[in-house]
Structure 1
Amino acid sequence: MTFLDPKTWTGSIFDGGWTTTEAGEQPVVEPATGAELGRAGTAGAGDVTRAAARARREQRAWAATPYEERAAVLRRAGRLFEEHAQEIQDWIVREAGSVPGKAGFETHVAAQECYEAAALASQPFGEMLPTARKRLSFSRRLPVGVVGVIAPFNFPLILGIRSVAPALALGNAVVFKPDQRTAVCGGFSIARVFEEAGLPAGLLHVLPGGVGTGRALITDPNVPVISFTGSTSAGREVGETAARHLKRAHLELGGNSALIVLDDADVEAAVSAGAWASFFHQGQICMTTGRHLVHEAIAEEYVERLAAKADGLPVGDPATGQVALGPLIDARQRDKVHGLVTESVSAGARLAAGGTYEGLFYRPTVLAGTPASAPAYAREVFGPVAPVMTFATIEEAAALAADSEYGLALGILTRDVMKGLALADLVPTGIVHINDQTVDDESVAPFGGLGSSGTGARFGGTGANIEAFTDTQWVTMQPEIATYPF
């Protein structure tokens, strides 16, 4: 039996064991071919209610478990991701349409997320406080109880485990809703890892489902914190619903990140970075460069080279060929991407490369002379599209980069790194990379955006994870009962 043998999960969800659901099952589809790879269980609202109630019951004992034991589970989970990396990668390639290199990156980061989470279990969790009275006063961080995690399809393993692992390490239980389109690689792989790692039953529930499943999770009274990664439109609804129920919602949402190429940049290197930033994983990444802002002195050469690069990139089935781009996740996403491209050409952009598709395979696309009103420039495309706009001065570049509702990532390419840092000061954003493109993530770094990109750095890094998945409690202690004038 393989690690992700379909006999284990067919028609099932995970609640500490593999069980059937009230909502039936759904096909697991390979976007590159349309083939059915299996059938996964779909969780309904009742499944969420039962999972959250059980998670709350089991969580107290887990929180009281010595930190060494919790850390050991996370370390074993990390090793299991490494031991079964190839099988998990195969599922990421086929189910998410990822090229093998991207799938390998996901399993590597998943292991690192578990190792870093293991270290969280032994972190100091309080501080002594001054007090004007004769007593001991301190604060401490306590697990929130049950964390609801909702993750998308594009980086299904990373965007799930980066919340699941630290939440568990800090003594919480987790109810996790992966995207239905990547239920196996982004959901059941995590369930199998923790099942084999020895996590006590009932602490992790993996419930693939749609909007109704997510809504049930957000509104469940046993789930006080929601960790959501997804589109800005969906994130607004999650945040509004959570707020009505007086819950914390950590939101990592969309982006329309800018890559600024100054006139002193190495154009060949800049084009390589820019192509990766817009075309990696078919542009289906929140950090994807959606706006190439290039100094007018080098813009013509940049567009020419970027278009040539796009025309030379092979597109096809990543499971059967050496390709740079695989398929978009589904026809709905393809039609959205193509609509934004054609509307932008109608708005005045010049199609320098791409703009065509076959099935779900969309050619990497370059739009030159893109006006600010063009939809592919102004909105998040979530496809392999690189709109290019020119600027004349540093001030104009800063104004263009800042002129967006999003604030996730910013790349600045220049030989003068101090000039780049000064430019970064003028652009509100959660992430800045000087002399690198916008797509990057590390388990040790805080991750998050501003504005319509989310509620700040709520993922990654020791401080962000502790803040996200624990509550602060103030405690005082004194030897005798205090006396009062009543």
Structure 2
Amino acid sequence: MKYIGFESQFINGDWVKGSAQGEIKVVNPFNQETILSVSTASKQDVDIAYAGAEKAQQNWGKLLPQERAAVLKKLIQVIDARYGELHEWLVSESGSTALKAHIELGSAKNIIEESISLIGRATGSIMPSSIAGQESRAYRLPLGVVTVISPWNFPFHLSMRSVAPAIALGNSVLLKPSSDTPITGGLLLGKLFEEAGLPKGVLSVVVGKGSEIGDYVVTHAATSFVSFTGSTPVGHRIGQLAMGNPIKRVALELGGNAPIVVLKDADVDEAVKATVFGRFLHQGQICMSTNRAIVDASIYDEYVAKLLAHVKTLKVGNPAEMETAIGPLINEKQVNEVKEKIALAEKQGATIAYAGGINGNLVGPHVFINVDPNSAIAKEESFAPLLPVIKAKDEDDAAYLANLSEFGLSSAVFTKDFERGVEFAQRIRVGMTHINDISVDDQTNAPFGGEKNSGLGRFNGEWVLNEFTRMQWITVQKTPRPYPF
């Protein structure tokens, strides 16, 4: 039987109606049909969820490692059994193409598997002591209650990326998903963890408007850590709020403006393929998406010609159809912003070499040439299928252009000389660079995160282990110590 009851909140293991006034409509971004409406959570609901989370964490954090691992192993089994159902939700609620939904579910499962491994890696240490008769220990402990605020673009994966390791490491979690994707970003996780046997209170999901409970979940005294994935302006605000009393730890995974740099010795055909997939996957609505192509002047014309030929083959349409490459943007607001970006790009001198059209929330691919590197289309993040192609004079100029951004999340470099690519990559101030591959990559054992205005902290593997635990130094004086007075 398919899951039902998504009109409610998931608070302390119970499905209850939100006590705030109003509802959030869940709308299919492709056909604009209302799927259902979710009652919204109030500050009182948040208080109840946090109180339950604090109480539940005390027991959850003390469970044997294998007991916590068993719940996550069961979670993977539940996801496998409900794979088709979850896939349908991602397509209908978030506008994911069939391919993107498949990628997202696979990534989420990988995160859970990695989280299981973290349980056995959360070790402390015995250290040498400078005091006679003393044993010096470092204990790794859960943080307590973790708050996760997730976005709408990869809602299931980006919620699970924080929720699974936080829970694996003995924390409890309050999850606030985006209002655009409250089901795939939140309530589905509540159903899945509930079926997997997670004790009540270890996970709560509160759906509400950011203007009503957004700041409240960040500043709430019960939470020790805030994991936020979303826009840079909101991330700045969360960082400021987290410095209140008491101070919260934060991990901020924010915006990006990833360049793909095509050096003069690159395989142009391969670079074009990577550009198109890296830019237009999920309509460009990915923080790591290839936001701009920087191409050496000697191969610029060849690259543009082959790029346009490839882009023209992309099918724009119903995301449920397997052959669709580009589906809808998440909502009308995003479409209007895209229209403004296109108009501004032309005003600032860029030439539209290809315009894929706009029909409702469907925005076809748009390719710009003659782009000023200091123009908005080149320097700002475009969460849309817009691609500016910028000409670089030489390798030094390409490095300068790659760094000409306030963001520093991901990047890609194409060259036939691998080590030259690595040396060039180290000249780019970003958290991640991929040689001869797309800028979109997230692997569970590699550090994921950015520099500059792309965020703070790292996800995955040992890096996320350090984010979701705290170290406590404890000494044991086993023999009497002589004090000077």
- Return the TM-score normalized by structure 1: 0.96
Query: What one-letter code is carried by the residue in structure 1 that aligns with 2:98?
Result: P
Query: What one-letter code is carried by the residue in structure 1 that aligns with 2:390?
Result: M
**What are the residue-to-residue correspondences of 1:14-93 with 2, within 5 Å?**
14-23=11-20, 24-93=22-91
**What are the residue-to-residue correspondences of 1:187-226 with 2, within 5 Å?**
187-211=186-210, 212-226=212-226
Give the drift of 1:193. Answer: 1.1
Give the drift of 1:431. Answer: 0.3
Q: Percent identity?
A: 39
Q: Distance in 1 between matches of 2:10 and 2:31?
A: 25
Give the drift of 1:343. Answer: 0.5
Q: Is the 8 A contact 2:297 2:393 kept in 1?
A: yes
Give the drift of 1:142. Answer: 0.6
**What are the residue-to-residue correspondences of 1:93-132 with 2, within 5 Å?**
93-132=91-130
Q: Distance in 1 between matches of 2:421 and 2:305?
A: 24
Q: Distance in 1 between matches of 2:127 and 2:321?
A: 61
Name which of structure 1's ranges 418-427 and 312-321 shifts more when overlaid on structure 2: 312-321
Query: What one-letter code is carried by the residue in structure 1 that aligns with 2:473?
Result: W
**What are the residue-to-residue correspondences of 1:320-335 with 2, within 5 Å?**
320=321, 322-335=323-336
The residue number in structure 2 matching 1:13 is: 10
- Partner SS for 1:298: helix
**What are the residue-to-residue correspondences of 1:2-401 with 2, within 5 Å?**
2=2, 4-5=3-4, 8-23=5-20, 24-133=22-131, 134-211=133-210, 212-245=212-245, 246-320=247-321, 322-354=323-355, 356-401=357-402
Give the drift of 1:481. Answer: 5.6
Q: Distance in 1 between matches of 2:440 and 2:255?
A: 13
Q: Is the 8 A contact 1:15 1:202 kept in 2?
A: yes
Q: Distance in 1 between matches of 2:13 and 2:179?
A: 19
Q: Distance in 2 between matches of 1:299 and 1:416?
A: 19
Q: Distance in 2 between matches of 1:72 and 1:446?
A: 26
Q: Distance in 2 between matches of 1:85 and 1:186?
A: 15
Give the drift of 1:315. Answer: 0.9
- Stretches of structure 1 lacking an aligned partner (at least 5 in a row): none
Give the drift of 1:161. Answer: 0.2
The residue number in structure 2 matching 1:448 is: 449
Name which of structure 1's ranges 348-357 and 383-392 shifts more when overlaid on structure 2: 348-357
Provide the aligned C-alpha RMSD in A. Answer: 1.4
Give the drift of 1:445. Answer: 1.7
Give the drift of 1:387. Answer: 0.4
Give the drift of 1:340. Answer: 1.0
Q: Distance in 1 between matches of 2:426 and 2:374?
A: 25
Does residue 438 in structure 1 map to residue 439 in structure 2? yes
- Partner SS for 2:456: coil
Give the drift of 1:304. Answer: 1.9
Give the drift of 1:437. Answer: 1.4
Q: Is the 8 A contact 1:13 1:40 kept in 2?
A: no
The residue number in structure 2 matching 1:424 is: 425
Q: Go from structure 1 to structure 2 and tell me whether the alpha carbon gap of 1:12 and 1:455 turns closer, same or farther (over 3 Å shift).
A: closer
Q: Go from structure 1 to structure 2 and tell me whether the alpha carbon gap of 1:50 and 1:391 turns closer, same or farther (over 3 Å shift).
A: same
Q: Distance in 2 between matches of 1:100 and 1:206?
A: 26
Q: Deviations over 1:414-451 (max 9, x none)?
A: 11111111111111110010011101111222200000
Give the drift of 1:485. Answer: 4.6
Query: What one-letter code is carried by the residue in structure 2 that aligns with 1:13?
Result: F
Q: Is the 8 A contact 2:13 2:204 kept in 1?
A: yes
Query: What one-letter code is carried by the residue in structure 1 that aligns with 2:229?
Result: T
Query: What one-letter code is carried by the residue in structure 2 that aligns with 1:196?
Result: E
Q: Distance in 1 between matches of 2:338 and 2:431?
A: 26
Name which of structure 1's ranges 10-19 and 440-449 shifts more when overlaid on structure 2: 10-19
Aligned length: 481
Q: Distance in 2 between matches of 1:189 and 1:393?
A: 49
- Partner SS for 2:438: coil
Q: Distance in 1 between matches of 2:428 and 2:108?
A: 31
Q: Deviations over 1:316-346 (max 9, x none)?
A: 1212573111100111111111211210111
Q: Deviations over 1:51-106 (max 9, x none)?
A: 11110111011111000100111111122122211110100001000101110111
Q: Distance in 2 between matches of 1:14 and 1:106?
A: 26
Q: Is the 8 A contact 1:78 1:112 kept in 2?
A: no
Q: Is the 8 A contact 1:270 1:413 kept in 2?
A: yes
Q: Deviations over 1:171-193 (max 9, x none)?
A: 00000001111111121221111
Q: Deviations over 1:192-248 (max 9, x none)?
A: 111011110011001122213221110100001000000001100010100123111
Q: Distance in 2 between matches of 1:468 and 1:345?
A: 43
Give the drift of 1:41. Answer: 2.8
Q: Distance in 2 between matches of 1:51 and 1:242?
A: 19
Q: Distance in 1 between matches of 2:336 and 2:55?
A: 45
Q: Distance in 2 between matches of 1:197 and 1:111?
A: 14
Query: What one-letter code is carried by the residue in structure 2 that aligns with 1:361?
Result: L
Q: Distance in 1 between matches of 2:480 and 2:169?
A: 33
Give the drift of 1:123. Answer: 1.5
Q: Distance in 1 between matches of 2:95 and 2:179?
A: 14
Q: Distance in 1 between matches of 2:10 and 2:72?
A: 22
Does residue 406 in structure 1 map to residue 407 in structure 2? yes
Query: What one-letter code is carried by the residue in structure 2 that aligns with 1:317?
Result: N
Q: Deviations over 1:437-481 (max 9, x none)?
A: 10111122220000000014x2111x2111111111001112356
Q: Deviations over 1:37-60 (max 9, x none)?
A: 112232222211111111011101
Query: What one-letter code is carried by the residue in structure 2 that aligns with 1:107?
Result: L
